[in-house]
Amino acid sequence: MDQSKIRNFSIIAHIDHGKSTLADRILELTESVAIRDMEDQILDNMDLERERGITIKAHAVALNYKADDGEEYLFNLIDTPGHVDFNYEVSRSLAACEGAILVVDASQGIEAQTLANTYLAVDAGLEVLPVLNKIDLPSADPQRVANEIEDIIGLPAQDAPQISAKTGINIKAVLEKIAAEVPPPEGDPDAPLQALIFDSYYDSYRGVIAYVRIKEGTVHPGDTIKMMAVGSEFDVVECGLLRATSLEPKDSLKAGEVGYITASIKNVRDARVGDTITLKNNPAKQALPGYRAVQPMVFCGIYPADGAHYSDLRDALEKLQLNDAALTFEAETSVALGFGFRCGFLGLLHMEIIQERLEREHNLDIITTAPSVIYHITKTNGEKISIDNPTNYPDPANIAFAEEPITNAHIYSPNEYVGNIMELCQERRGVFKDMKYLDTTRVDIHYELPLNEIIYDFFDALKSRTKGYASFDYELMGYERSNLVKLDIMLNGEIVDALSFIIHADKAYSRARKMAEKLKEKIPRQLFEVPVQACIGGKIIARETVKALRKDVLAKCYGGDITRKKKLLEKQKEGKKRMRQLGTVEVPQEAFMSVLKLDE
Amino acid sequence: MDAIGMYIHVPFCLGKCPYCDFYSVYPDENLVKEYLGAVKTRIREYSLIYKRGIKTVYFGGGTPNLIGHKGISEILNEIKENFNTENTEEITVECNPNSVTEEFFTEVKKAGVNRISMGLQSANSGELKFLGRKHSAENVLNAVSFAKKAGIENISLDLMIGLENQTKEMLLNSVEFCALLDIPHISSYILKIEENTPFAKRNIVLPDEDASAELYLFVSKELEKRGYNQYEISNYSKEGMESRHNLVYWQGKEYLGIGPGAHSFMENKRFYYERDLKAFIEGAAIVDDGEGGDFEEFLMLNLRLKRGLIKKECAEKFIDGEILFNEALKKAKKIPDMYIETDSERIAITKEGFLISNTIISMLI
């Protein structure tokens, strides 16, 4: 393919602004998918992606387009994840492109994640083409939004195509703009190979399928390739184009092209996003910039609800990991919950996605413990340690100081909610940095927020306090010293390890009280009174009591309907099986989950 | 073969009490006639299948007195003609205190009825109003004296515990009312809001768990003071005046239930009639309710009784009864003394334990 006719671009949009729908329309218009195979949001092929309206994994598709200038173009559309948890993946996808379409809802305007991703695109040197979507809505105000794009991002937007991806209005204008304005890729097909991996997935027949953008050089089947960061080597089995519903093998992939490579790679860890593929025999002098090994930021324990399913859980995690290099897990045990795994995630959404996939795709009933971030502890003897599990928190007497991760957080919201948002951020120990008006009614509120305040239920709380209008984005800024304590929960005098967590001393008392109240509510009355106590280093700071059971009786024994009574008792017996026996106390599984959401 | 209990469900009421989920309809004259015919047919049919003596007969409702003394007599005669009733110990009719006459009692007595059960529920007019009952304590007083005049001394009254804003004083009134009338048997239920009743739709604030537990124990104490022995979770009697029919249920013995919504347990099978009078009249078949009579059921029923589960009886009834008893005994020993009493021959739930008997029984099965 003539390099000058290739256009590599991605689509940037906020959730629900119509990215996947626009992608659908583009696929239709370029006849890349037979109408009979067309289903909504074809690129979001995970159920979860369709349901949540989010893109979790990057996808890419090669499209042929005959433009009005009479030329035949090859478009490579790279669909990127839209969520802050996957910022790094987004940045690698963008690095594979020369252009980006910025889709903005013509009634809602710019949102936090749009802006964050647009800045990533601008920083990567991409040609950004604004598109105003949903102009069919009565509330659409394309002029206002165009002004907003110009004012806030500084992109000319007056001639931005005004489209409706839903109804198909004006989609062709977008394609024409891509052909005319996205620059063709550069790169020398004869130079040493530099291929950027921007995503990969595991196929049980062919091994890892690496999605690549060839920056320099050429790759052929049979070449021995080397992963420059990881260091592993493989022989290329196949390479080719990523078509909408299939892979299309080719003799080679050349500089400027986007496609796939298979090389009997057994593990996605050997084809890491951001790594550079080169040839073993004619290696590039250096790797492409921007690679980093992804590090989980949020951790939690995942346990099978029924201990007998421990190995099923391990198998499921292994399978998920095949396709998700960012997921980490290692075995851990809890006195309360038995055998399980300590799992690491990029962020909260990533954590929720994994939990849901375990439950839905693998049919597992799981219990998760409170999420934790990584704390840095410097001990009095000078030793520095990192803690992601409250169980490992050292004796306070041995701690010189502790540090916690802090984020730069931006919240975009209509100005009427500023008060609520600031209140929330103050509650979460936020430090106000500044506030900017995006236009006359919308603001960008900038806070420094401790990550451990975000990971509980910040997003839910933000949504409920802004009627869902606020959007939120954050990035890790660094570590700061913090007055942290470990809070333990005792039931009937015994610490329940799975309920311990690390928290700022100022927040400990109110959280302890809320937790004790919640547990009191969730733990059913038992044959004896159960004290629920929250304590820090043995000092009790909150107490509730689950009173002894007093009444649980079928007083009336009517006319011999014994079956009904029997069924009731059997149900009760079944219910007992679902309880966790902690010492002498029976605790329902939902008690463990309920303390994760205290802001209700 | 053992004599059995017979339960006749009389599905007629003049109105529906807002807490009641038993099946009943308005007693249209023709409907009553057809109902009586259907009951008699079933009695004849069953007599061909089950050649048993009748130990007890119980007319429950609904409001059995609405079929009149004639209706009661007709059914009893049919039973006598088709079953052996030589050793029948007890024939009970549930009555509504404000719709019975002296004549009714005299006539049913002649037909063989020797026990009357009435829903006093409360001796306080406010509580009766809350329950939507049309009668007054005075009605009950009159009905009791009619029954006694007719020669029926064995009378049971129902008392309701845990009504809205109920105090111990109010309950004491009701208890004393029964004691003064020298009623030999009292059933005392904790009010439970049943699904699909008017109470379930209203926003009723009943005493909480602790308060109703206190009221229950209070009633038990006050009744025992007055010579009533709590022989079952919700039942009290003067010596020797326990309800024979209810003991049939609780001792895992057999019974035949006739009428819409009535349940039966015969030859290890449980079955019942749908709650549908029309279908019953038209001869609807019984509904299979599965196997019954296993050890768990026997344990569950016997533990409702003060005397509890007896090892000897387990051994007699089940091949591995002794082993099963011992297993239950082992589990019972882990439960605190205040809730359960055990020795090598017997497991019994205490009064405090009765209040949480579901939990306790589910720990033993």
CATH number for the domain spanning B104: value is: 3.20.20.70
Least confident range from A588-592, B45-49, B127-131: namely A588-592
pLDDT at residue A565, as a whole number? 83
A562 touches chain B (CB under 8 A): yes
Q: Mean pLDDT over residues A247-258, rounded?
A: 94
Q: What is the mean pLDDT of chain A?
A: 87
Q: Is A180 on the interface with B (CB under 8 A)?
A: no
Name the pLDDT band for A46 (thresholds 50, 70, 90): low
- CB A358: neighbour CB atoms within 10 A? 23
Mean pLDDT, range B219-245, rounded to an integer: 96
Contact status of A559 with chain B (Cβ, < 8 Å): yes
Chain B partners within 8 Å of A558 (Cβ): 22
What CATH number is given to the structural domain containing B328?
A: 1.10.10.920
Residue A548 bridge partners (DSSP): A526
Q: Are A23 and A12 in contact (CB under 8 A)?
A: no
| B219 and B302 co-located in one domain | no
**pLDDT at residue A467, rounded to an integer:** 80
Residue B288 lies in a domain: no
Last residue of a domain, one of B231, B249, B267: B249
Residue B264 with chain A: CB contacts under 8 Å: 560
Q: Would you call B358 and A552 a contact, using CB atoms and an 8 Å cutoff? A: yes
Q: What is the DSSP string of B285-341?
A: PPEEEEE---HHHHHHHHTTBTT-EEHHHHHHH-TTHHHHHHHHHHHHTTS-TTTEE
Predicted local confidence at residue A448, as pLDDT: 96
3-state secondary structure of A576: helix
For residue A561, which residues of chain B lie inside 8 Å, CB to CB?
Answer: 263, 272
Question: What per-residue confidence (pLDDT) applies to A294?
Answer: 76
Bridge partners of A250? A239
Residue B73 within a domain: yes
- Boundary-marking domain end, from B249, B272, B307: B249
Phi, psi of A572 (to 5 degrees): -65, -40
* Same domain (yes/no): B124, B203: yes
ipTM of this complex prediction, to 2 decimal places:
0.87
Min Cα–Cα distance to chain A from B171, Å: 17
Yes or no, beta carbons of B264 and A563 under 8 Å apart: no
Q: What average pLDDT does range A301-316 have in this prediction?
A: 92
Contact call for residues B150 and B110 (beta carbons, < 8 A):
no
B contacts of A555 (beta carbons < 8 Å)? 161, 189-190, 192, 233-234
Q: Does A381 touch chain B (CB under 8 A)?
A: no
The mean pLDDT value for B86-115 works out to 95
pLDDT on residue A152: 81
Cβ <8 Å between B356 and A561: no
Contact A528 B297 (CB under 8 A): no
Considering chain A, what percentage of its residues have pLDDT values greater than 90?
Answer: 50
**H/E stretch holding A419:** helix A418-427
Interface test with B, best of A562, A570, A581 (most B CBs within 10 A): A562
Which tens digits make up the pLDDT trace of B300-328? Answer: 999 999 999 999 999 999 999 999 999 99
Closest-CA distance, B227 to chain A, in angstroms, reads: 21
- A552 and B263 within 8 Å at the Cβ level: the answer is no
Task: State whether B24 and B135 are in the same domain.
Answer: yes
Q: Which of A286, A278, A267, A287 is nearest to A224 (CA)?
A: A278
* Residue A566: predicted pLDDT: 84
In a domain, B142, yes or no: yes
Beta carbons of B233 and A562 less than 8 Å apart: no
What are the tens digits of pLDDT across the range B58-82? 999 889 999 999 999 999 999 999 9
In a shared domain, residues B145 and B213:
yes
Question: Residue B116's beta-bridge partner residues?
Answer: B93, B155
Q: Do A569 and B249 touch (CB under 8 A)?
A: no
Q: Name the least confident of A39-48, A283-292, A342-351.
A: A39-48
Sign of CA pseudo-dihedral B194, B195, B197, B201: positive
Residue B166 counted as domain residue: yes
Counting one residue from chain A and one from chain B, the pairs whose CB atoms sit within 8 A come to 101
All residues of chain A having their beta carbon less than 8 Å from the beta carbon of residue B193 are: none
Q: What number is the average pLDDT over the span A266-273?
A: 86
pLDDT at B257 over 80: yes
Average pLDDT, chain B: 94
Report residue B285: phi and psi, to 5°. Answer: -75, 160
Token pair in block for residue A147:
């002004």
Q: Is the pLDDT of residue A51 over 60?
A: no
Asked whether residue B216 falls in the same domain as residue B153, the answer is yes
Using pLDDT thresholds of 50, 70 and 90, give the confidence band for residue A83: low
pLDDT of residue A28: 82
Residues 6+ apart with CB under 8 A from B2: B52, B53, B55, B253, B254
* Same-domain pairing of B105 and B187: yes
Chain B residues with CB-CB distance to A556 below 8 A: 189, 192, 234
Q: How far is A552 from chain B (nearest CA, A)?
A: 4
pLDDT, position A48: 58
Q: Which domain holds residue B360?
A: 295-365
Same domain, B241 and B336: no
Tally the domains of chain B. 2
| Pair of tokens at residue A128 | 């950004």
Chain B residue numbers touching A554 (CB-CB < 8 A): 233, 357-358
The pLDDT tens digits for B278-287 are 999 999 999 9
Asked if pLDDT for residue A37 goes beyond 90, the answer is: no
The verdict on a CB contact (< 8 Å) between A560 and B263 is yes
Give the separation between CA B250 and CA B301, rounded to whole angstroms: 5
Task: State both tokens at A86.
Answer: 């996957």
Residues B193 and B52 occupy one common structural domain: yes
Largest CA distance in chain B: 58
- What is the Cα Rg of chain B in Å? 21
- On whether both B141 and B200 belong to a single domain, the answer is yes
- Tell me, what amino acid is at A117? N
Which helix (H) or strand (E) segment holds residue A423: the answer is helix A418-427
Q: Which residues of A touch B335 (CB under 8 A)?
A: 527
**Closest Cα to residue A454, out of A433, A476, A434?**
A476
Domain assignment of residue B256, yes or no: no
For residue B333, being part of any structural domain is answered with yes
pLDDT at position A557 over 90: no
Q: What is the pLDDT of residue B256?
A: 97
Same domain, B195 and B302: no
pLDDT band per the 50, 70, 90 thresholds, residue A57: low
Q: Measure in Å the smallest separation between the Cα of A306 and chain B Cα atoms.
A: 20
Task: Verify that B210 and B328 share a domain, yes or no.
Answer: no
Per CB-CB distance under 8 Å, the chain A contacts of B192 are 555-556
Which residue, among B233, B231, B251, B249, has the nearest Cα to B241 in the 3D structure? B231
Q: Are residues B236 and B358 in the same domain?
A: no
Name the residue in chain A with its Cα closest to that of B211: A550
**Dihedral sign computed on CA atoms, order A192, A198, A201, A203:** negative
Q: Which of A527, A528, A529, A551 to mutate to test the interface with B (most CBs of B within 10 A)?
A: A551
A584 touches chain B (CB under 8 A): no
B149 in any annotated domain: yes
- Residue A58: pLDDT band with limits 50, 70, 90: low
Q: Does A505 touch chain B (CB under 8 A)?
A: no
Q: Quickly state the pLDDT bin for A49 (edges 50, 70, 90).
A: low
Nearest residue to A596 via CA among A471, A436, A467, A458? A458
Instruction: Compare CB distances from A562 to B262, B297, B363 and report the shortest one's residue.
Output: B297
* Confidence at residue A323, expressed as pLDDT on a 0 to 100 scale: 74
Of the candidates B46, B39, B106, B49, the residue with the CA atom closest to the CA atom of residue B77: B39
pLDDT at A314: 94
Looking at residue A111, its pLDDT comes to: 79
- Residue of chain A nearest B337, judged by CA positions: A527
In this structure, are residues A275 and A228 in contact, taking their beta carbons and an 8 Å threshold?
Answer: yes
B-facing residues of A in 510-549 (CB < 8 A) are: 525, 527-528, 547, 549
Distance from CA of B136 to the nearest CA of A (A): 23
What's CA A362's distance to the chain center, in Å?
19
Question: Which among A552, A553, A559 has CB closest to B262?
Answer: A559
B205 occurs within a structural domain: yes
d(CA A63, CA A43): 13
pLDDT over 70 (residue A33)? no
